[in-house]
Structure formats: C-alpha cells, structure tokens
C-alpha cells in the first residue's frame, strides 16, 4: 500500500499524520503520470535545473524528484510535514529541502532572479480560486522556455481549469487520460497581459459590522456560509477572562465574534492552511485593532499546551485536500479534550447528519445540544 514504484526508483511513502493500518495511499495516478512524463523527457535529452513543485500533497513528487533539488510550494501545513517525513525516510543522506508556502515567492531559492524556473510541476486541486491565484503568482517566475506540466484526476480538470491556464500563462493542451488522470501542458506566452490577481478578495459583512478579506484557499471565500452564520447567531458571551481557541479558524470569523462577546478573553486562532491563518490575522487585527491574539499554522492543536483553554470553537472540515472523511474532525475533538482545562467547553457546529454527537459523547462522556435548526446543530461538551 505504501510502496511507490516509479521510473526514478522505489519509495516508501506515508500520509501524515502516520496512522496504523492506513488504507489511503500517499500518491495518486496523477503523480505517477507526472513522474513517467519527466522520466521520458530526461531520457530524450531534456535537462532541468530550476524545478518548482506546487501542491504536492504527501511528498510523492518531492521524494521521487529529490535529486533535482526542487523548490516545493504548498499552502498545507500537513503537506509540509508529510513532505519532510517522506524525504527523511527515503533519503537518509539529507538532500536539500526548499519548502515554502503559497504566500511566499520561491524565487529566493533559485540561483538568480533572472533565471526563471525551467520546469514547473503543478498538481490540480479542487479549488479553482486557488489555481487562479497560483498561476498569477507563478507567471513572473516563467520564461518563454519554461516547461509547465500540470496534472490531476480527470474529475478535477474542467474547461474552466484550462481556460485559466490559457488566460494567465499561455496556449494549453491536455494529454489522453491514463488511470483516470490527465496531464496539462502549457506554453508560457510572455506577451499576454492577464488581468490582475483578484485575491485576496473583500467580503463585507455589514450585518455583523465586520470587514473581512479572504485569500484564495480559504473556505467559503465569496460569501458567509450558512453554518458559520448560524454559529455567529448563537455565539456565547462572558465578561470572565478566558483563553479561547478558534480551531480550524479559516478566515477567523468565529474567533473575531468571540472576541466581541468575550471582552476580557485572549484569542488563539489555528489552522493548517497558511492562507487561512494569514486571512485570520489580518481580519482580527482590522476588526479588533485594540486587541491582541495569537495565530498559529499547525495540524489540529499540535504545539498547543495541554490544559490551557477555557473555550474551543470548532467548525471541522470533512475533507483534507481531496480525501473526504471524519478523521480530521475526530483528531480535532481528541486534541480539544487534551487542550481544555477541567471544566472547559468545546462548541462544535456540524451538519445534523454527520453524527458528531456520538464521537463527542464517547470522548467527553457528555454532549448536549446548544442550538439547532433544520440543517445544523451546535454541540457542547465539558471536560470533566
């Protein structure tokens, strides 16, 4: 299950966090298609010096192509950890690791600013907005001879996907599908004058007296999702000094609202997305200029002290990259129990059909309904 056989070699790859009896692979057919295409290009005499890899979810590309010393860009903290783990496991001689997030330019890792990337490898994610933002950020790094190789599963590649490449980078064509994966080849056209990058985008919320901006990968960046709206309408209030954590903070709306209803609280906002935490930090600072808060990019509550929080707010995601399931929510609930003080509270919002109350009652020994409507339920647990 965890052995990748590629033209570049055989590699042992794990998802992160590493779990016993993992049933999901750390790579997909699009990764295999990319690696075969690059091996074929090298066999025909092509050579690449400045290599950039974007959205490598678990490090399959970074590990297999490690001798090329690529620069690796990802918005996901979990992906960063998986890449580090798999590189260390497969290359004990410690090949150089140039790892950055999607808000930083990778140009500093290349030998000279006038030497653009000559190979850009991009995995297509589900988010069209994230792709648009990434293509805008990549364009200044490309020369007319830069080879742009993108790939994804067929279900993630649409006409709108190809139109973005055409509009921002240049002429684009696709390969035949192979094992339900497809390659996208794009030739940079330096004469193009694409419209400016539209991200980050403003999201005014006058009904809540808030001014919000969202980076491209933030969930529900164009409107206030109905689950968050319901949570905001049922936010608890207290004058007591409290340590409050917005777990999986996204753009920070729940933490910002909690700061308003808890005037003496200290807020901490955590998320595994660098763009989400950057959005949350900007939004909190703008809407509460007289308050301070802590912001951390991490996996669930990794690095947050045990028994340190009075209240944790959580709107858990039900997917990680393209993988759908409740495993992230369960890990968040476990971390919340560890992090709460005795008597501390966890408030969780979710769709009614997800059945979070079963897991929460098993973990905490108690779970009550704070509020509910036809679609959502806010659950309350107390650490005994």
Q: Which residues contact 12 (CB under 8 A, 6 or more apart)?
A: 2, 3, 4, 86, 89, 90
Instruction: Copy the structure tokens of residue 78.
Output: 């979990």
Residue 113 reports pLDDT greater than 60? no
Show Cβ contacts of residue 20 under 8 Å, excluding neighbours closer than 6 positions. none
Q: How far apart are CA 38 and CA 309, in angstroms?
A: 49
Q: How far apart are the first and last CA of the chain?
A: 40
d(CA 244, CA 234): 16
pLDDT at 43: 97
| pLDDT tier at 318, thresholds 50, 70, 90 | low
Q: Return d(Cα 224, Cα 285) in angstroms, integer.
A: 19
Q: How confident is residue 92, by pLDDT bands cut at 50, 70 and 90?
A: confident
Closest CA to 283 of 218, 237, 226: 218
pLDDT at residue 259, as a whole number: 97
Q: What is the mean pLDDT of residues 297-321?
A: 90
User: With contact defined as beta carbons under 8 Å apart, do 37 and 46 qualify?
Assistant: no
CB atoms within 10 A of CB 375: 12
If DSSP states are collapsed to H, E and C, what string results for 121-158? Answer: EEECCCCHHHHHHHHHHHHHHEEEEEEEEEEEEHHHCC
- 293's enclosing H/E stretch is strand 293-297
Q: Are 142 and 105 in contact (CB under 8 A)?
A: no
Domains assigned to the chain: 3-186 (3.40.50.150), 201-382 (3.40.50.150)
Mean model confidence pLDDT for the chain:
94
Range in 57-66, 110-119, 149-158 the model is least confident about: 110-119
Strand ranges (E), 44-141: 51-54, 71-73, 98-100, 117-123
**H/E element, 211:** strand 210-214
Q: What does 32-47 look like in DSSP terms, one character per residue?
A: HHHHHHHHHHHHTT--
CA nearest neighbour of 252 among 220, 206, 207, 299: 220
Which residues face 372 on adjacent strands? 377
70 preceded by a cis bond (ω within 30 of 0): no
- Cα gap 237→106, rounded to integer Å: 43
CA distance 335 to 137: 35
Q: Tens of pLDDT along 222-263? A: 889 999 999 999 999 999 999 999 999 999 999 999 999 999
CA distances from 92 to 66, 87, 321, 382 (A): 12, 8, 28, 45
Instruction: Give the three-state DSSP class for 11.
Output: strand
Nearest residue to 379 via CA among 358, 357, 359: 357
CA proximity to 283, closest of 324, 246, 312: 246
Over 60: is that where the pLDDT of 322 sits?
no
Residue 320 clears pLDDT 70, i.e. is over it: no
Has residue 325 got a pLDDT over 60? no
Beta-bridge partners for 72: 53, 99
| pLDDT of the residue at 349 | 97
* CA-to-CA separations, 359 to 18, 19, 355, in angstroms, rounded: 21, 19, 8
Asked if 281 contacts 296 with a C-beta cutoff of 8 angstroms, the reply is: no
Q: Which sign, positive or negative, has the C-alpha torsion 362, 270, 215, 287?
A: positive
Q: Which of 285, 293, 168, 271 is nearest to 217 (CA)?
A: 271
Nearest CA to 15 among 86, 92, 87?
86
């Amino acid at each position: 299950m965890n052995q990748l056989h590629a033209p570049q070699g055989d590699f042992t790859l794990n998802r992160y966090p590493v779990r016993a009896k993992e049933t999901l692979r750390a790579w997909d057919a699009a990764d295999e298609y990319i690696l075969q295409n690059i091996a074929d290009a090298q066999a025909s005499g092509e050579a690449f010096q400045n290599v950039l890899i974007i959205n490598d979810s678990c490090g399959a590309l970074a590990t297999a192509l490690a001798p090329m010393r690529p620069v690796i860009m990802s918005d996901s903290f979990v992906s960063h950890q998986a890449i580090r783990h798999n590189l260390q496991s497969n290359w004990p001689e410690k090949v150089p690791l140039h790892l950055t997030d999607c808000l930083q330019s990778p140009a500093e890792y290349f030998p000279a600013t006038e030497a653009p990337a000559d190979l850009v490898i991009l995995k297509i994610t589900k988010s069209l907005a994230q792709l648009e933002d990434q293509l805008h950020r990549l364009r200044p790094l490309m020369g007319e001879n830069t080879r742009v190789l993108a790939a994804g599963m067929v279900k993630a590649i649409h006409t709108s996907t190809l139109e973005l490449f055409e509009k921002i980078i240049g002429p684009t064509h696709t390969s035949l599908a192979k094992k339900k994966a497809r390659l996208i080849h794009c030739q940079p056209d330096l004469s193009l004058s694409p419209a400016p990058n539209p991200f980050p985008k403003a999201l005014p919320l006058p009904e809540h007296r808030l001014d919000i901006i969202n980076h491209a990968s933030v969930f529900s960046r164009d409107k206030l999702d109905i689950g968050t709206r319901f949570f905001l309408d049922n936010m608890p209030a207290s004058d007591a000094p409290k340590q409050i954590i917005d777990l999986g903070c996204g753009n920070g709306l729940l933490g910002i609202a909690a700061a308003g209803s808890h005037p003496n609280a200290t807020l901490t906002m955590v998320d595994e997305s660098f763009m989400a935490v950057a959005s949350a930090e900007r939004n909190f600072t703008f809407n509460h200029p007289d308050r301070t808060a802590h912001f951390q990019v991490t996996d669930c509550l990794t690095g947050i002290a045990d028994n340190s929080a009075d209240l944790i707010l959580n709107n858990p995601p039900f997917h990680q990259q393209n993988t759908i399931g409740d495993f992230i929510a369960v890990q968040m609930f476990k971390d919340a129990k560890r992090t709460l003080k005795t008597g501390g509270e966890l408030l969780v919002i979710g769709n009614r059909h997800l059945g979070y109350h079963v897991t929460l009652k098993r973990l905490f020994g108690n779970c009550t309904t704070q509020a509910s409507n036809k679609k959502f339920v806010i659950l309350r647990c107390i650490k005994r």
